[in-house]
A and B are shown apart, each in its own frame.
Chain A
């Protein structure tokens, strides 16, 4: 039994552990069971999703447009309320969390968006400083002008990690797409996250910059010993920048396998049938 198969199959992992065949199991950080979500006019988008993500893994989530990949990410943090789900995330039962506890959980998860979602009229440094909202009194980190010195220094360090310390004083609306996404990544690092989520992080970037950003995203995930769950339409990226690929079709998980056992043609089959939901 290969480690990659163990990684993707928790039941086999548990059996193997019991038999003493493997070392201590990696921590299960995200466990989703029976996730259902429907939208008015679109019907059921997610129909009983089951998904496990272990510490240190990089998991790519693929599937055709409208199949519910982004919804899945958001439902796991209740940024969108699921109709039904049992989700355990970083040791918290997400469905039972009250608002303040939910905020604390979200703070442990760095989220990188397709459109970067920076505050465009604020400086790059201010945008990165915003990553510390959950651990600082709000008014102190509203902007770089009010932030304490150690927070500014930490934000500069995060910018340095993504190679953009020289742009700290620039306004976010003056950045290129690739720079913008790097700043979003620095902002996520500023959260001191345990888990990274990215929703089509390179969809709006050209192929070269897209590769650079994915390289950086995976590199930081490895260096910081984080876990990465990202949505992608780029099958080459999924194969290159993930340990495991999870494919969604018609609201259900249809593929869940280590990336090194898959090929582009195998992944294309997922896109063969159109999704109604």
Chain B
């Protein structure tokens, strides 16, 4: 036993590490204060939550056809934004893949674009596009597209990076060009990951397209905001229920596609 080498993980942490842990805990407590965490407010708010939920039921289905139409537009916005986003992500991801990019400069530029699209929150993009192209679903579609580029661009590039290079070497030996190698060896191998990421992007887009309406970027969100602002909780209940059904349907559909393709 005495000959066993000392295990690093069993070392007693030194003073600097203790200080670091302590500072981390202090910062978290400070953050709780900054976040205005308040247990009394939460307890006091529980009856209000119950009251709002009570007022939402039974949901008012008198405007269900209008709500359904808005839900359809919301879904269309999410679908179109995702499809265009996936399309542009594919080409950006090729540039952002170390093994496929034609030049290091393009690699860093593509990486930067993808990171930028991802790090700016979708609500900020929505505000930007509403200011640029006006209120409505077009601004929402652009927002979802950019958000999808940030999401899919990264995962597509990672998927292409991880593809086995054997078939690529084989095609290169046969005289295939760069695009042919990507299309015939890289894309088929990375396809499960592409499909998976795209379906997650669609689910994400459907959820975020609901919220985008709050800043005027089209979709059902604005209806929800108006209903809540006017205390029409039963109508709000219908909208929330519809959102739940839509998100659930999209998730089920994408799971089914995933099972079929993977």
A binds B: yes
Chain A: residues with CB nearer than 8 A to chain B? Answer: 77, 79, 103-104, 106-107, 109, 111, 113, 115-122, 126, 130-131, 133-134, 138-139, 141-143, 184, 187, 191
Look across to chain A and name the residue whose beta carbon is closest to the beta carbon of B166. A117
Q: Determine the distance from Cα of A203 to Cα of B103 in the docked complex, in whole angstroms.
A: 37
B166 and A115 form a contact (CB under 8 A): yes
A133 and B180 form a contact (CB under 8 A): yes
With beta carbons under 8 angstroms apart, the residue of B169, B170, B180, B191 that contacts A138 is B180
Chain B: residues with CB nearer than 8 A to chain A? Answer: 166-167, 169-177, 179-180, 183-185, 188-189, 191-192
Give the residue among A107, A117, A141, A187 with the most B Cβ atoms within 10 A.
A117
- A and B contact pairs by CB, cutoff 8 A, 7 listed: A79-B169, A111-B170, A121-B192, A133-B176, A133-B184, A142-B183, A187-B174
Look across to chain B and name the residue whose beta carbon is closest to the beta carbon of A131. B174
Q: Determine the distance from Cα of A118 to Cα of B169 in the docked complex, in whole angstroms.
A: 10
Q: Give chain A residues whose Cβ lies under 8 Å from the Cβ of B177.
A: 103, 133, 138
A98 to chain B, nearest CB (A): 14
B173 and A109 form a contact (CB under 8 A): yes
Look across to chain B and name the residue whose beta carbon is closest to the beta carbon of A104. B175
B188 and A122 form a contact (CB under 8 A): yes
A106 and B174 form a contact (CB under 8 A): yes
Tally of A-B Cβ pairs under 8 angstroms: 78
With beta carbons under 8 angstroms apart, the residue of A107, A121, A184 that contacts B175 is A107
Look across to chain A and name the residue whose beta carbon is closest to the beta carbon of B165. A117
With beta carbons under 8 angstroms apart, the residue of A103, A107, A119 that contacts B184 is A119
Q: Determine the distance from Cα of A143 to Cα of B171 in the docked complex, in whole angstroms.
A: 13
Q: Give chain B residues whose Cβ lies under 8 Å from the Cβ of A134.
A: 174-176
A119 to chain B, nearest CB (A): 5
A183 to chain B, nearest CB (A): 11
A260 to chain B, nearest CB (A): 31
B185 to chain A, nearest CB (A): 5
Q: Determine the distance from Cα of A134 to Cα of B179 in the docked complex, in whole angstroms.
A: 13
Q: What 4 A-B pairs have minimum CB-CB distances, sorted nearest first?
A: A134-B175, A107-B175, A138-B180, A117-B170
B188 and A111 form a contact (CB under 8 A): no
A sample of 20 more A-B contacts (CB under 8 A), given A113-B166, A133-B176, A139-B179, is A106-B172, A116-B166, A117-B167, A119-B167, A119-B184, A119-B189, A120-B188, A120-B189, A122-B184, A126-B184, A130-B170, A130-B176, A130-B184, A133-B184, A138-B177, A138-B179, A139-B180, A141-B180, A142-B184, A191-B175
Q: Give chain B residues whose Cβ lies under 8 Å from the Cβ of A103.
A: 175, 177
